[in-house]
């Protein structure tokens, strides 16, 4: 047992932190989110050149052969800088969708480019109600055989759709049943609209309007599709959680900075216990969350059952985000309500991830199931 | 990062668990369950643990240990606290009183005090809190005056002293030796014989029963020079080290985990409107929340132990761990109360009490866990000031 970084993990964390400070200061974060696509191609090329999309991909597939723990080290540091990128979906749905899917030829064909980050993969999984992942499809919408299926779907909150090379899509097809597909972004019939999300990664509504589905696009079908989606979603949850932990660390750092410098009633705010104790609680909860998230990743790396650890970790993340967001904004007061201050860049991103992949209640029920309740 | 216990540690846990299943009496509820038979029973168990080399295994061999790493000690603590700490008051000796004597004591003091601890045959109490010095411990007024020949004469009153009436043979006492410096710079630690003339113990009735907590009066108690621990006026720094050890040494999460298991079983057996209570959505999420909080408290404690093993400072992590452990116990008490409902008022002695009265007991246990060994708001101050660099509040 050792809940500290080893030397390699510490070096990795230091190098990502250095990169963020050098290449991706907060001014750039503000700038990128106003780009038409919300995507910074120049920086993405630097990120993938450092191998950060391939940390946890096995070496025989062109990856670095590290663990998810190391991948989380990267994500946490990126979160500290509020550095958005298509990294998490490219890894969780792209690399691991191909790795754990049941399509050898797709894996051989696409994985090297996906692991290298040259092909960006995003997740078009959330149905337009923002809750379901698997659609209810009626027969008259999809008349086809297994070899010539047509995809009709509307997906929401799809990150980086305009920059993606592939969409991972969850759907239900006649003759196939539930399916996880890897659809090239240039396939005819795909339309998208950037949704209005002022802060954070760009999100799109994506319509798949009678899009051709080829056999080679099917990563998994039937029960295997549900399993594959669960695997990818769980990974995405953990990667996102690590990123969110980084966001929370920075929200707290900004709050502490304010509590130390802002003087009211003749002393710094932090000298009031009502303020100091909120900071202490944030610190404690963020660190607890962080350990839970790393534990889930470590269990997956070891091939152990991580279902309970993952569900518990996500539940804890959600509670921590709610706490950090409420406390930090309370302490910053009106300044935190102003977009001139950086706090909202961290808290609004964190709030978005609080509900992604299902919020607190869903994950507590998942924990309850796994406890045998 | 490595989140697993080693094979040696796992084997030890199994061995210990089998041993405890046989040795811990059926009726044993908790260290805090005041009954006449509690103390003799805990003495017997501590002696048996000592015989097997388990009581102080992480101590060096010259002081009766086997040099095991801190994780073996973690396994031991968890198995103890998940069974209501059957070592009784002696857990404290092993957690921090022994280690402080080992670290700051003279060779003579080590030989004199550590052997009885490692053999499981001595009960200590801690003389810290006073009627006018609780959270503001450094404001204490019990006075130790040095005589011309180097002895000390101690006069004052301590309160909330657990196990003093067990009876404890020794008191680990913090007293003022210097009134001319800032309050926390004039304190010293003493190892006081409770049989010395002038020591009086008065038990205080607590929510859990009589005899858990006491007042201890020191009236001109003579303490020889060789019973001062460390240098004069250095008590506060030593105590800070000791309390950090104490705060990771009591895994409340292990106790809450055990209670959660009981609650899960209870909700599966209990029918409400023809359905098992375990299907009720609110009950499910409340028990799940307790599970999540237990897991978090456990990991923060492991993080503190990881740092301790590397020789890094642990004051901050142990403050977080203690706070989360206490809050987890508080949640356990509340969730138990909600889950069992109206009948959770029934005491264990009542034949109608569900779960043998555990819900009632756990509610009471939830009260001191956020207060003892430094109230959680004091932990928050430690985290804010030492960890985050916020200014002192006064």
Q: Which of B8-17, B64-73, B347-356 has the lowest mean pLDDT?
A: B64-73
Report the pLDDT value the prediction gives residue B10, as an integer from 0 to 100: 97
Q: What is the CATH number of domain A7-115?
A: 1.10.540.10
Domain B7-122, CATH homologous superfamily name and number: Acyl-CoA dehydrogenase/oxidase, N-terminal domain (1.10.540.10)
Instruction: Say if the Cβ atoms of B264 and A371 lie within 8 Å.
Output: yes
**Residue extents of the structural domains in chain A:** 7-115, 121-221, 225-370
Q: In chain A, what residues touch B287 (CB-CB under 8 Å)?
A: 368, 371, 373
pLDDT digits (tens, 9 = 90+) for A145-192: 555 788 999 999 999 999 999 999 999 988 788 999 999 999 999 999
Mean pLDDT of chain B: 94
Report the pLDDT value the prediction gives residue B243, as an integer from 0 to 100: 86
Report the pLDDT value the prediction gives residue B286, as an integer from 0 to 100: 98
A121-221 under CATH 2.40.110.10, yes or no:
yes
Mean pLDDT of chain A: 94
Strand bridging mode A177-184 / A218-221: antiparallel
Best to test chain A binding among B287, B299, B304 (most A CBs inside 10 Å): B299
Report the pLDDT value the prediction gives residue A137, as an integer from 0 to 100: 60
Q: How far is CA B125 from CA A144, B158, B377, in A?
A: 80, 11, 24
Q: In chain B, what residues touch A4 (CB-CB under 8 Å)?
A: 1, 303, 306-307, 310
Report the pLDDT value the prediction gives residue A139, as an integer from 0 to 100: 47
How close does chain A come to B91, measured CA to CA in Å?
23
Residue A282 CB contacts under 8 Å (≥ 6 apart), including other chains: A248, A251, A252, A255, A323, A324, A327, A328
How close does chain B come to A240, measured CA to CA in Å?
19
Say if A344 is an interface residue toward chain B (CB within 8 Å). no
pLDDT band at B394 (very low <50, low <70, confident <90, very high): low
Q: How far is CA B196 from CA B117, B155, B193, B309, in A?
A: 20, 13, 6, 38
Residue A74 CB contacts under 8 Å (≥ 6 apart), including other chains: A12, A16, A52, A55, A87
The size of the A-B interface in CB pairs under 8 A is 161
Report the pLDDT value the prediction gives residue B211, as an integer from 0 to 100: 62
Q: Tokens standing for B329?
A: 């116990």
Domain B125-233, CATH homologous superfamily name and number: Butyryl-CoA Dehydrogenase, subunit A, domain 2 (2.40.110.10)
Report the pLDDT value the prediction gives residue A143, as an integer from 0 to 100: 45
Report the pLDDT value the prediction gives residue A136, as an integer from 0 to 100: 73
Sequential DSSP letters for B190-241? EEEETTSTTEEEEEEEETTEEEEEEEEEEEEEEE-GGGEESSTT-HHHHHHH
Q: Tokens standing for A280?
A: 């202490």
Q: Check if the beta carbon of residue B32 is closer than 8 Å to that of residue B208.
A: yes
Residue A292, pLDDT > 70, answer yes
pLDDT band at B248 (very low <50, low <70, confident <90, very high): confident
Report the pLDDT value the prediction gives residue B199, as an integer from 0 to 100: 98
Query: Cα separation of B81 and A41, whole Å?
Result: 55
Task: Establish whether domains B7-122 and B125-233 are of one fold.
Answer: no
> Which residue in the set B285, B296, B320 is minimally distant from A316, CB to CB?
B296
- Residues of chain A above pLDDT 70, percent: 97
How close does chain B come to A373, measured CA to CA in Å?
5
Instruction: Say if the Cβ atoms of A273 and B381 lie within 8 Å.
Output: yes
**Residue extents of the structural domains in chain B:** 7-122, 125-233, 251-387
pLDDT digits (tens, 9 = 90+) for A327-341: 999 999 999 999 999
In the CATH hierarchy, which fold is given to the domain comprising A225-370?
A: Butyryl-CoA Dehydrogenase, subunit A; domain 3 (1.20.140)
Residue B219 CB contacts under 8 Å (≥ 6 apart), including other chains: B155, B198, B199, B200
Going by C-alpha positions, the residue among A373, A290, A273, A265 that lies closest to residue A331 is: A273
Report the pLDDT value the prediction gives residue B123, as an integer from 0 to 100: 96
Report the pLDDT value the prediction gives residue A72, as an integer from 0 to 100: 98
Closest CA in chain B for residue A6 = B1
Residue range B151-160: mean pLDDT, rounded: 98
Residue B314, pLDDT > 90, answer no
Taking the CA atoms of residue A263, residue A265, residue A266 and residue A270 in that order, the dihedral angle to the nearest 10 degrees is: -50
ipTM of the complex: 0.95
Residue range A274-289: mean pLDDT, rounded: 98
pLDDT band at A39 (very low <50, low <70, confident <90, very high): very high
Q: In chain A, what residues touch B317 (CB-CB under 8 Å)?
A: 287
Report the pLDDT value the prediction gives residue B121, as an integer from 0 to 100: 93
Count H helices and E strands in chain A, helices first: 13, 9
pLDDT digits (tens, 9 = 90+) for B274-291: 999 999 999 999 999 999
Mapping DSSP onto H, E and C, the string for A118-182 reads: CCCEEEECCECCCCCCCCCCCHHHCCCCHHHEEEEEEEEEEECHHHCCEEEEEEEECCCEEEEEE
Report the pLDDT value the prediction gives residue B210, as an integer from 0 to 100: 64
A24 φ/ψ angles, rounded to the nearest 5 degrees: -135, 55
Q: Which of A:262-281 have CB within 8 Å of B?
A: 267-268, 270-273, 275-277, 279-281
B334 φ/ψ angles, rounded to the nearest 5 degrees: -70, -45
Query: Cα separation of A335 and A328, whole Å?
Result: 11
Residue B362, pLDDT > 80, answer yes
Considering only the C-alpha atoms of chain B, give the largest distance between any 2 of them, rounded to a whole number of Å.
79
Q: Which of A234-248, B183-197, B366-380 has the lowest mean pLDDT?
A: B366-380
Tracing tokens 């706070």 back to the chain, one arrives at B323
Residue range B313-329: mean pLDDT, rounded: 92
Instruction: Say if the Cβ atoms of A1 and B4 lie within 8 Å.
Output: yes
Residues of B identified as active-site = 246
Domain B251-387, CATH homologous superfamily name and number: Butyryl-CoA Dehydrogenase, subunit A, domain 3 (1.20.140.10)
Residue range A74-102: mean pLDDT, rounded: 97
Residue B388, pLDDT > 50, answer yes
């Amino acid at each position: 047992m050792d809940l500290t970084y080893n030397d390699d993990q510490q070096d990795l964390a230091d190098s990502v932190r250095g990169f963020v400070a050098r290449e991706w200061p907060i001014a750039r974060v503000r700038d990128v989110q106003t780009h038409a696509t919300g995507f910074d191609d120049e920086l993405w090329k630097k990120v993938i050149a450092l191998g950060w999309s391939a940390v946890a991909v096995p070496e025989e597939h062109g990856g670095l052969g590290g663990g998810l723990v190391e991948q989380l080290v990267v994500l946490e540091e990126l979160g500290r800088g509020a550095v958005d990128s298509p990294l998490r979906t490219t890894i969780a749905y792209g690399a691991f969708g191909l790795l754990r899917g049941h399509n050898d030829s797709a894996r051989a064909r696409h994985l090297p480019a996906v692991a290298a980050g040259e092909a960006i993969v995003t997740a078009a999984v959330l149905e337009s109600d923002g809750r379901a992942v698997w659609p209810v499809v009626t027969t008259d919408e999809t008349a086809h055989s297994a070899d010539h299926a047509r995809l009709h779907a509307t997906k929401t909150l799809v990150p980086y759709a305009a920059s993606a090379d592939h969409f991972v899509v969850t759907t239900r097809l006649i003759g196939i049943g539930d399916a996880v597909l890897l659809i090239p972004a240039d396939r005819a019939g795909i339309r998208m609209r950037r949704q209005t999300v002022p802060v954070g990664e760009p999100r799109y509504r994506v319509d798949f309007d009678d899009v051709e589905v080829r056999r080679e696009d099917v990563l998994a079908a039937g029960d295997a599709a549900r399993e594959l989606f669960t695997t990818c979603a769980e990974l995405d949850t953990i990667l996102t959680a690590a990123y969110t932990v980084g966001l929370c660390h920075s929200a707290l750092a900004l709050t502490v900075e304010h509590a130390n410098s802002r003087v009211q009633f003749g002393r710094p705010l932090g000298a009031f216990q009502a303020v100091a104790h909120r900071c202490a609680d944030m610190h404690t909860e963020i660190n607890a969350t962080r350990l839970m998230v790393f534990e889930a990743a470590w269990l997956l790396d070891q091939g152990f059952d991580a279902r309970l650890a993952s569900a518990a970790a996500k539940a804890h993340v959600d509670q921590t985000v709610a706490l950090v967001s409420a406390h930090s904004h309370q302490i910053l007061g009106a300044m935190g309500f102003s977009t001139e201050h950086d706090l909202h860049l961290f808290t609004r991103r964190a709030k978005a991830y609080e509900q992604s992949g299902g919020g607190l209640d869903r994950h507590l029920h998942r924990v309850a199931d796994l406890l045998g309740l | 990062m490595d989140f697993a216990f080693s094979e040696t540690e796992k084997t030890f846990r199994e061995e210990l668990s089998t041993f405890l299943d046989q040795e811990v009496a059926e009726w044993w509820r908790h260290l805090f369950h005041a009954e006449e038979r509690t103390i003799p029973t805990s003495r017997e168990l501590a002696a048996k643990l000592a015989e097997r080399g388990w009581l102080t295994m992480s101590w060096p061999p010259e002081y009766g240990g086997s040099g095991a790493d801190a994780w073996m000690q973690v396994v031991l603590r968890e198995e103890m606290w998940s069974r209501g700490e059957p070592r009784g008051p002696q857990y404290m000796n092993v957690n921090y009183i022994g280690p402080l004597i080992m670290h700051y004591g003279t060779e003579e003091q080590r030989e004199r005090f550590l052997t009885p601890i490692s053999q499981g045959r001595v009960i200590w109490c801690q003389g810290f809190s006073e009627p006018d010095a609780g959270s503001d411990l450094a404001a204490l007024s019990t006075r130790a005056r040095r005589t011309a020949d180097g002895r000390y004469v101690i006069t004052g009153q301590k309160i909330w002293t657990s196990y003093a009436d067990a009876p404890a043979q020794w008191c680990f006492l913090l007293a003022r030796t210097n009134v001319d410096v800032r309050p926390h710079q004039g304190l010293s630690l003493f190892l006081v014989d409770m049989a010395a003339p002038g020591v009086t113990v008065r038990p205080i009735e607590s929510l859990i029963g009589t005899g858990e907590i006491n007042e201890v009066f020191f009236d001109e108690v003579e303490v020889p020079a060789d019973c001062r621990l460390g240098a004069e006026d250095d008590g506060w720094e030593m105590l800070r080290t000791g309390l950090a050890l104490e705060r990771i040494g009591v895994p409340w999460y292990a106790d809450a985990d055990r209670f959660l298991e009981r609650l899960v079983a209870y909700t599966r057996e209990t029918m409400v409107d023809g359905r098992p209570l375990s299907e009720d959505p609110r009950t499910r999420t409340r028990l799940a929340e307790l599970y999540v909080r237990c897991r978090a408290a456990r990991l923060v404690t492991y993080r503190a132990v990881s740092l301790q093993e590397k020789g890094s400072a642990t004051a901050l992590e142990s403050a977080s761990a203690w706070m989360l452990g206490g809050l987890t116990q508080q949640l356990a008490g509340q969730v138990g109360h909600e889950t069992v409902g109206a009948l959770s008022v029934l005491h264990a002695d009542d034949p109608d009490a569900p779960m043998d009265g555990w819900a009632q007991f756990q509610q009471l246990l939830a009260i001191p866990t956020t207060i003892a060994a430094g109230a959680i708001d004091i932990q928050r101050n430690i985290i804010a000031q030492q960890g985050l660099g916020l200014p002192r509040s006064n």
